[in-house]
């Protein structure tokens, strides 16, 4: 609204600053029309600043309405270069392995030397390297260094369950993905006597369960080592760790203890579609350098292992526990990387939260393939209810009704058509899905495939 109108407290007045602060690393309100260009430029620059693990790189500028229509001739308009944000890590799998130069403090070098010594001293199989953020990117060789360190020390590589992005495929390390439910995750992590967390917070439970753990790591403080990108250059730190652990002699595919994935796709299945066979078809045909936007939830659990030997790709998933991120995330990936194929493996219940993203894909002519996992239920919510033992109580009938998205069944082909998606089909068998995917890669613009599971 106009700056001079806010004091009247109209119906649309709200604390937009507080809302933006919850998701932004930088929030600013423009002071005048004259300062608009410089203040937007400063906000763009703020997006390039490295944040702590789990931090946001979002910069929000709040512009009062009247600042957009006033003209000020006392200042020249900012050039396009002045408004260009400093890029964060570009979504690519083709970056050369050359870390950016840095001038580390002696304390950082000593810390890494002590960390390497602890890793070398820990018996094989008893140490874990838990990774997130920059540590999961191929940029500057980070992933290769990580794989070599794990192979040299016998450490287990584990990644966050809700990772923002990980570069995966043949020739890159294959991580163990931390289990979603806290009891299973805590049991996995209890096997280790040493943990090194790299650009990741120590894991905690997504929700609080009765008699369940909140903290998933119970090691003493001196057995936890943490490297945070806000304090240390992660690519340099991993290169230093590799030198300190004598990991440079490790050759992927030869003396790497199976840490690095070998090339190979799953065989093409046949018959009726299931969650596993759907994942196998996708991994069998996905092109090199694809971006996989994964909000498949319960239907896509098999994809992680089935796709480990595929040609290299980037794997994105939801990070905050809020469902519905898949379709808009696919929009962002396709706009950022127009030369890379984008495949959105999408749970049907979650897709209902952000259906309008299909319209955006059509409007912007984005090459996004949306695969709807149509099991016609909020299966993830049913699992959560079962964990809370609600399905075994007198509330079972009501809770089951709330998590059922049949009655009537949602017709995704009709919904896609209504949003302007011309290439939309149903698939009931493996063969139908394989044919639809082959055709989708040749189509211009978005495609939707409804997999009836």
Question: Can you give the pLDDT at residue 293?
Answer: 98
What are the b/e assignments for 330-341, b being 16+ CB within 10 Å? bbbbbeebeebb
Residues of the chain with pLDDT under 70: 50-56, 72-104, 390-397, 399
User: Any residues with CB less than 8 A from the CB of 404 and at least 6 apart, and which?
Assistant: 376, 377, 378
Task: Please give the model's pTM, rounded to 2 decimal places.
Answer: 0.85
Question: Can you give the pLDDT at residue 95?
Answer: 39
Question: Can you give the pLDDT at residue 104?
Answer: 65
pLDDT tens figures, 139-184: 889 999 999 999 999 999 999 999 999 999 999 999 999 999 999 9
SS (H, E, C) 217-272: CCCCHHHEEEECCCCCCHHHHHHHHHHHCCHHHCCCCCCCCCCECCCCCCCCCCCE
What is the C-alpha separation between 203 and 189, in angstroms, rounded? 10
Cβ–Cβ contacts within 10 Å for residue 2, how many?
Answer: 13
Question: Can you give the pLDDT at residue 322?
Answer: 74
Question: Can you give the pLDDT at residue 402?
Answer: 73
Cβ–Cβ contacts within 10 Å for residue 357, how many?
Answer: 26
């Amino acid at each position: 609204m106009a700056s001079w109108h806010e004091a009247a407290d109209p119906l649309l007045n709200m604390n937009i600053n507080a809302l933006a602060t919850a998701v932004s690393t930088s929030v600013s309100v423009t002071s005048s029309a004259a300062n608009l260009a410089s203040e937007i430029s400063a906000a763009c620059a703020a997006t390039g600043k490295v944040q702590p693990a789990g931090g946001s790189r979002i910069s929000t500028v709040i512009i009062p309405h009247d600042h957009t229509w006033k003209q000020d001739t006392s200042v020249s308009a900012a050039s396009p270069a002045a408004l260009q944000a400093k890029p964060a890590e570009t979504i690519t799998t083709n970056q050369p392995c050359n870390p950016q130069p840095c001038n580390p403090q002696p304390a950082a070098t000593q810390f890494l030397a002590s960390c390497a010594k602890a890793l070398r001293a820990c018996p094989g199989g008893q140490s874990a390297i838990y990774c997130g953020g920059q540590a999961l990117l191929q940029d500057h060789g980070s992933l290769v260094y990580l794989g070599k360190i794990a192979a040299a020390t016998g450490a287990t590589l584990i990644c966050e369950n809700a990772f923002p992005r990980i570069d995966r495929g043949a020739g890159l390390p294959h991580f163990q993905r931390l289990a979603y439910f806290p009891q299973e995750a805590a049991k996995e992590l209890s096997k280790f006597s040493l943990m090194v967390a790299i650009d990741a917070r120590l894991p905690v439970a997504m929700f609080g369960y009765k008699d369940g753990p909140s903290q998933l790591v119970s090691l003493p403080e001196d057995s936890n080592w943490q490297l945070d990108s806000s304090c240390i250059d992660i690519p340099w730190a991993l290169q230093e760790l590799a030198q300190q652990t004598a990991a440079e002699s490790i050759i992927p595919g030869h003396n790497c203890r199976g840490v690095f994935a070998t090339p190979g796709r799953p065989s093409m299945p046949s018959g009726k579609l299931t969650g596993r066979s759907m994942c196998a078809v996708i991994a069998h045909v996905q092109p090199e350098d694809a971006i996989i936007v994964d909000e498949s939830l319960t239907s896509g659990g098999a994809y992680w292992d089935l796709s480990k030997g595929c040609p290299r790709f980037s794997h994105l998933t939801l990070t905050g526990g809020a469902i519905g991120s898949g379709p808009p995330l696919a929009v962002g990936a396709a706009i950022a990387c127009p030369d890379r194929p984008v495949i959105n493996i999408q749970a049907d219940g979650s897709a209902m939260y952000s259906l309008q993203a299909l319209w955006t894909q059509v409007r912007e002519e984005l090459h996004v393939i949306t695969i709807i996992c149509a099991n016609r239920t909020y299966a993830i919510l049913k699992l959560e209810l079962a964990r809370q033992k609600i399905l075994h109580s007198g509330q079972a009938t009501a809770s089951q009704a709330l998590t059922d998205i049949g009655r009537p069944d949602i017709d995704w082909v009709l919904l896609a058509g209504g949003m302007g998606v011309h290439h939309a089909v149903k698939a009931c068998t493996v063969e139908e899905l394989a044919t639809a995917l082959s055709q989708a890669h040749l189509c211009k613009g978005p495609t939707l495939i409804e997999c009836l599971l």
